[in-house]
Amino acid sequence: MIYSVFFIVTITCITGLLHYKKFSGNTMYKFFILFLYLTFLTEFLGSITSFYYNKTGKVLYYQGPIYNSFLIIAYSFFFWFYYKHYKKRKNKITVVVLWLVFYLYLLIYILFFDYRFMHFNTNSIAVGSTFLLITIILFLIEIVNNENVIFNITNNLIFWITLGLLLFYVGIIPIMIARKFLNFNELYSQILILLNVLMYGSFIIGFIKSDPKLKY
């Protein structure tokens, strides 16, 4: 599975690089492209650890901390990303509260359950994903209620970023919860690959289709 995700991320990064100049005037989108390259680096290291495990049967020490650290960065980035795009003050306050609660949950988990940050914690992902999904839905509500934006929204990169994230997190939350009670590892891997294809495919369409002159 990890090799498939790495391939998808690589294609997305190449597409983002090819269209980087198009978004050079938008700092937020430039940061998004840079974030994708951090994702690429993480998946690259993950591919190495997976290859090593397949060859030796041993798990490299740094695999857990790398993925856990990346997840914190990823959630933090998108909380910040949408905070900067919100127009309504109450939505900005809401995302800050969600962000702080997420950090508090992580702090408690690290201090009392996994101080070395070694284990892949599905509960942290479920909490972060749920909070991010709320953040995305609030943004979509803003878009729907903004008549100046709604007609051109499909030509705006943030629409495709939001669509990709929405498809991914709507899918990932229930299957991660179900996986705690049911054993369906092979199906889980296939669903996860599909969700990644939908998310990164949406990003790619956004890079190609979007008009950088349009701003939300």
DSSP the chain: -HHHHHHHHHHHHHHHHHTTGGGTT-HHHHHHHHHHHHHHHHHHHHHHHHHHHHHHS---TTHHHHHHHHHHHHHHHHHHHHHHH--SHHHHHHHHHHHHHHHHHHHHHHHHT-TT--S--HHHHHHHHHHHHHHHHHHHHHHHT-HHHHTTGGGSHHHHHHHHHHHHHHHHHHHHHHHTTS--HHHHHHHHHHHHHHHHHHHHHHHHH--TT---
- Region of poorest pLDDT, from 62-76, 83-97, 111-125, 178-192: 111-125
Residue 25 domain-assigned? Answer: yes
Structural domain of 203: 2-209
For the segment 6-31, the average pLDDT, to the nearest whole number, is 88
Let me know if residue 105 belongs to a domain: yes
pLDDT band at 101 (very low <50, low <70, confident <90, very high): very high
**Looking at residue 208, what is its pLDDT?**
93
Domain-located, residue 87 = yes
Is there a domain that residue 171 lies in?
yes
Confidence of residue 20 (pLDDT cuts 50, 70, 90): confident
Residue 216 within a domain: no
Q: What is the pLDDT of residue 131?
A: 95
Which range (44-58, 144-158, 177-191) has the least confidence?
44-58
Residue 11 confidence (pLDDT) above 80: yes
Q: What is the pLDDT of residue 114?
A: 62
Range scoring the smallest mean pLDDT among 4-13, 48-57, 78-87, 109-118: 48-57
pLDDT confidence of residue 165: 97
Dihedral, CA of residue 84, residue 126, residue 6 and residue 60, to nearest 10: 120
Inside any domain, residue 215: no
User: Does residue 21 form part of some domain?
Assistant: yes
95 within some domain: yes
Higher pLDDT, 188 or 204: 204
Count of domains forming the chain: 1
> What's residue 179's pLDDT?
77
Backbone angles phi, psi at 116, to 5 degrees: -90, -5
pTM: 0.88
